[in-house]
Structure 1
Amino acid sequence: MRLPPSYSIVLSLWVTILVLAQAQREGSGQKVVLSPPSSPSPSSSPADGHSLPLKGGKGEEGEGEGGRGGKGNGPLDAGFAAFAREKLDRWRVPGVAVAVVEGDDVWAEGYGIATFPSTPVTPSTLFYAGSTTKAFTAAVVSLLIASGNFSTSSSSSSSSSQGKTPLNWQTPLSHLLPSDFALQDGNGWAAAHLTLEDALSHRTGLARHDKALARRYPHHDDNGTETHPGTVRDVTRSLRHLPVATEPRVGWRYCNLMFMVVSHAVQTLTGGRWLGETMRELVWGPLGMGGTFLSVEDALEGGWEVARGYYWDYLGEVGKGGEGGKGFVPVPFSSLYLASGAGGVVTSVLDYAKWIQCLIRGDNANNDKNGCPVLPPEAHRELKAARMVLPPSSRRGYDAPLSYALGWNVGTYKGNRVFMHSGGMEAHGAEVYFFPELGFGVVVLANTAVTSNVVGWELAWKLINERIGVREGEGFDWAGLGKERVDAQLKLADTAIESLYPDRADPPLPRALPLERYVGVYSHPAYQNVTIELVDGDKEEETAQRPTDKGERVKEKGELKAIRDNMEWQMTFEFRHVSGEFWAVVIDMLNTPNMLSGQLARAEFVVGVGGTVEGLKMEFLEDGSEGVIVFERIA
């Protein structure tokens, strides 16, 4: 299989023109680069085969035979193909695509099923890439900074040129978004001083709060009765209602919302231009990444093959010896407009191979030599500079605990510097690694949640260890970590009460009111409405809520539920009574209900002096406590 030679020539000419244009550009205005040539159409993409050995920069096939396990497949040989299929079966993943970069060479292969019943994964199959998007957001910011065409002033400065400061990594978000960026009361210093660098390195102190992402938001200029589809501006304005977990810059707290804030800042700086267009003009176009999008709708409308997401019905197998479940269940394509620069990319391993080749070639770039001038030397340096140390648990098989740069984890493995990032969506997973000094990188994309990442670990680290010379059995046990996580998730609901409330009353205290009195609508300005209903819609007999003489629970499953289908991440909340007004909440994804992405939360109903439920307190616990969210009962 061969990429059209004309496309490689056009791309090379375009990169040359781009570099010259950037060098001659005047330091005024907000135009950053010229518009790139049209992206290659799906019909010219290498979608008609399963493997694609390439010689980088030449548009030519590698030596040897193509096809699955052919001699031209380099590290993706017949033995690796068998290993990949074994892992797909072991972890219940329909399909996976893999690309390996070695200097100028790229090998790519697809294994398994992209869409049932029979559409195979190919190197050009598109997948959701999740949080690996963050590196592109940081790269776009680096290009805006390097252009010298953007400046800011503090909210107290005049609008004249006096007091203007060139855009840089230390630019406060409040200077870029003075009307929109604010934090909860009591966090005034952080709101005034948090910077682009802080947001892009997860050191703002804000917890995840992913469950606060809504599909619709009230208009800013009315009483909240009218709504509109959510935007990154809405997300930014919602932060003022969310508790902050820690002081800024004292700990690493992963926060997708802050990347959405940066997305809003970029769009504001570029005159309201959609971030996806800016990414294409500044990065994807110059690199020839014609099959990469910030909108799955754009990919589908363009005729690209996007792998369908699936989940395996583990829960249907419970108590049936592994039999009786529904197997793979398809998941609807998710619109990721709101995910934006935090996790909205849809791409192929072929395109991502071009991206990591750029990052490898530009490493340690200086003004005399830059192997990938799409990013200037200072961008290559800044994007990879460590900003925050991760917890000790991040060490795993690395030489030391990892750090976080700007959209990348960074560490060393067997003395070799490595950059990596995972991505996880509702029914897709991504793993990306590159070793600059080795000129080596691996990309793995697959189509389930959680287990795709486990497959990615196993496949990527087999390739990495073989390249470095680590013998089998001497590396970290990624399969063991995967089994530990999957097993824990499948037991999460059963152990919810014990893990959340180990010091609960025994026997438990009865709740204050009949079950149906807790039914209602509870509202929070950021998390919006939680509508609580009876499980199965039936009233429950009083005896079902009382402990027996032996202190045993009559009923162990949830008694109340809430379906959060109005949020960006659609979830179900199942409330299980613990003692008094305290409840355990088991959270699962609405479209992938197998608990692999499940979470737990604590809840407490607030009963007023008049004997009615007036509110609900919830403590979500993704990556640690996210603070207490107080919902007011409104119906």
Structure 2
Amino acid sequence: MSTVKDSPETPLDGDFEKNVHETLEYWKIPGMAVAVVDGDTTWTQGYGTADLASSTDVESNTLFYGGSTTKAFTAAIMAMLVEDNDKYPGVQWTTPVNELIREDFVLDNHWTTANVTIEDILSHRTGMPGHNFSLGAVYADKQATVQDVVRSLRFLPSTAPPRTTYQYNNAMYIVASHLIQTVMGDDLGSIFQKHIWDPLGMSSTYFRLDDALASQKPLAKGYAFAEGKYEAVEWKNRPEISGAGAIISTVEDYAKWIYALLNQSGLPLSSEGYGTLWTARALIPNSEPFLAPMAYALGWDRYIYQGVEIITHDGGIEGFGAEIVMIPALKFGVITMANSTYSSNYGGTCLAYELIDSKLGIAAGDRFDWKQKYVDIVDQMDAYNADAVQIFYPDLPSPPLPGPTLAIEAYSGTYWHDAYGRLDLSIDGTGTKLHADRTNCTNTCSLTFENVTGNYFIIRLLVVGAETVLPAEFSVDPDGKPRSVGIGWEPTMGIEKKIWMRKVDGDDTVGLHRALPYKPSRTPQLPEFLTGHLFV
């Protein structure tokens, strides 16, 4: 593979460069790196700022978090295990996961536990929704391990039978990470290094923040834009996300990765093995501008766009976003990496498909308006938050009951769920609302409870500068004391179904087993744009 920078033929300057800077400004993205692989030639370029405090420019060798683009590496390692029948004859796509990590992998019913396969967990068709706010939350005083995340799944409700519904689930890639480490007897980062990164010459790719910092290579600072200004976001240091989203890398190294995939070269995989990674496994609900059928493969999305097959995946993590878009038939691919929360993926997608459209020769008037798509999504989210009370509680009494059933102080205290962990509710500075900071879980957040009527509340949940609204209610004992709080943590469960966290005394969470039983009910579902994943 040859690499050309600043070539007269590069697609990354001229009008495209102008559009990059306009996109960065519109979506409030400090900086972005872009790579294009076209046959045997690669172009790379950095734009904007990697560190606003020092005014450091983004270069093509700037490190960014890759988020869920990590998943494709995990799937590739699994494909290697499946092909190696001499060393790992018990690892096949149809092997039930419980056969390999029996004590750890237990789901919410016996049949699912015994029958969910490796293929199922890698294609998001286990029947288990994301439950993203449960990840890594099982301890208040220490960081969860990969094994801890896997073991917590038994306390979470599924929402569909296996193999019937696509539900993106980061935890299942953490399951895959634990399975790989158990079978191979090594750390997943070391496995990636030995079997993928070293063979492909990916010398600037890391599995842990400490390793990236120790390399002394430039690591971009992450940001969120809120209330008219950029706010720095701490580099994520949660090793338990593992093969679901831990990688830190550069567009230069990722160009080597997608070149290997497009050319089926450089990795210890047969042609059939490469092919399994992009084979459709689970149908995805249709969305513009892609044609049906849309599908998830193994760590990759598979779409039809402008008459050609697209293989793609995005990645989002606090402060960062990444996009990979490939046209296998043309051996053409685009990578973007940027350093803002949420908007990195909006801007990165717009720019990636500008390059895709140019490669396909799509006239300007016939191109899909990606910018408008994401403007509409942001508007939908704002409207949803504004209308949350009416959405969650359409049958409020008129007039509503005056305030909460109990004094607001009565609801404060510690609540516990064996997967969602601990929630410490206290009175906020206004003296009228309940507040909690969740710093002990993978997806850190803050929650503010506002009373609607009686024991019913809405929660304004803030994650790195972005707000979403959840329903909540308290159950009360006959003696008038709160017994538990039900929170709509998982959007795909619907509006009325909640995760119930039981009230406990102080720090006495040791020995607790399950929260209140999950009771299914018929209820309208939340909008599709709320059912995605936090790190993608």
| TM-score computed with the length of structure 2 as normaliser | 0.90
Aligned runs of 1:395-474 on 2, under 5 Å? Answer: 396-474=288-366
Partner of 2:170: 256
Q: Which moved more, 1:443-452 or 1:470-479?
A: 470-479
Contact 1:530 1:562 survives alignment (8 Å): yes
Identical residues among aligned pairs (%): 36
- 3-state SS of the aligned residue for 2:50? strand
- 3-state SS of the aligned residue for 2:371? helix
Taking structure 1 as reference, are residues 147 and 254 closer, same or farther at Cα in structure 2, changes over 3 Å only? same
Aligned runs of 1:83-162 on 2, under 5 Å? Answer: 83-116=19-52, 117-151=54-88
User: In the aligned structure 2, how far is the partner of 1:233 from the partner of 1:302?
Assistant: 28
**Which of 1 and 2 has greater Rg?**
1
Match of 1:571 among 438, 445, 452: 445
Contact 1:245 1:625 survives alignment (8 Å): no
- 3-state SS of the aligned residue for 2:488? strand
- 3-state SS of the aligned residue for 1:402? strand
Match of 2:258 among 353, 356, 366: 356
Deviation at 1:427, TM superposition (A): 0.9
Deviation at 1:603, TM superposition (A): 1.0
Deviation at 1:150, TM superposition (A): 4.1
Deviation at 1:490, TM superposition (A): 4.2
User: In the aligned structure 1, how far is the partner of 2:92 from the partner of 2:49?
Assistant: 45
CA deviation map 1:540-597 (0-9, x unaligned): 4xxxxxxxxxxxxxxxxxx2111111112110111121222111112111xx22x2xx
Match of 1:628 among 495, 498, 512: 498
Partner of 2:224: 311
Deviation at 1:216, TM superposition (A): 5.9
User: In the aligned structure 2, how far is the partner of 1:245 from the partner of 1:299?
Assistant: 38
Aligned runs of 1:54-453 on 2, under 5 Å? Answer: 56=1, 58=2, 62=4, 67=6, 71-72=8-9, 74-116=10-52, 117-151=54-88, 166-184=90-108, 187-214=109-136, 217=139, 228-271=142-185, 273-313=186-226, 316=227, 325=228, 327-362=229-264, 371-393=265-287, 396-453=288-345
Partner of 1:584: 458
Deviation at 1:210, TM superposition (A): 1.1
Partner of 1:484: 376
Contact 2:435 2:447 survives alignment (8 Å): yes
User: In the aligned structure 2, how far is the partner of 1:360 from the partner of 1:181?
Assistant: 34
User: In the aligned structure 1, how far is the partner of 2:258 from the partner of 2:269?
Assistant: 12
Contact 1:217 1:234 survives alignment (8 Å): no
Contact 1:203 1:249 survives alignment (8 Å): yes
Deviation at 1:381, TM superposition (A): 1.2
Contact 1:533 1:562 survives alignment (8 Å): yes
User: In the aligned structure 2, how far is the partner of 1:621 from the partner of 1:175?
Assistant: 28
Match of 1:523 among 398, 410, 416: 416
* One-letter amino acid of the structure 1 residue matched with residue 470 of structure 2: A
CA deviation map 1:87-109 (0-9, x unaligned): 00011000001000100000010
Q: Are 1:610 and 2:454 counterparts?
A: no
User: In the aligned structure 1, how far is the partner of 2:499 from the partner of 2:24?
Assistant: 40
- 3-state SS of the aligned residue for 1:312? strand
CA deviation map 1:425-448 (0-9, x unaligned): 011011101111111000011001
Partner of 1:11: none
* One-letter amino acid of the structure 2 residue matched with residue 361 of structure 1: N
User: In the aligned structure 2, how far is the partner of 1:617 from the partner of 1:624?
Assistant: 13
Supply the RMSD in Å over aligned alpha carbons: 1.7
User: In the aligned structure 2, how far is the partner of 1:471 from the partner of 1:182?
Assistant: 52
User: In the aligned structure 1, how far is the partner of 2:73 from the partner of 2:42?
Assistant: 21
Deviation at 1:292, TM superposition (A): 1.0
- 3-state SS of the aligned residue for 1:599? strand
- 3-state SS of the aligned residue for 2:502? strand
| TM-score computed with the length of structure 1 as normaliser | 0.76
Deviation at 1:215, TM superposition (A): 5.7
Please identify runs of 4+ aligned residues in structure 1 that moved more than 6 A. Answer: none
CA deviation map 1:154-175 (0-9, x unaligned): xxxxxxxxxxx53111111100
Deviation at 1:501, TM superposition (A): 2.1
Deviation at 1:401, TM superposition (A): 4.0
Contact 1:287 1:374 survives alignment (8 Å): no
Contact 1:509 1:580 survives alignment (8 Å): yes
Q: Where in structure 2 are there 5+ consecutive unaligned residues?
A: 506-536
User: In the aligned structure 2, how far is the partner of 1:190 from the partner of 1:604?
Assistant: 30
Contact 2:136 2:145 survives alignment (8 Å): no
* One-letter amino acid of the structure 2 residue matched with residue 632 of structure 1: R
Aligned runs of 1:504-519 on 2, under 5 Å? Answer: 504-510=396-402, 511-519=404-412
User: In the aligned structure 2, how far is the partner of 1:130 from the partner of 1:459?
Assistant: 19
Deviation at 1:494, TM superposition (A): 2.9
User: In the aligned structure 2, how far is the partner of 1:339 from the partner of 1:375?
Assistant: 26
Taking structure 1 as reference, are residues 401 and 501 closer, same or farther at Cα in structure 2, changes over 3 Å only? farther
Deviation at 1:533, TM superposition (A): 1.2
Match of 1:601 among 470, 473, 476: 470
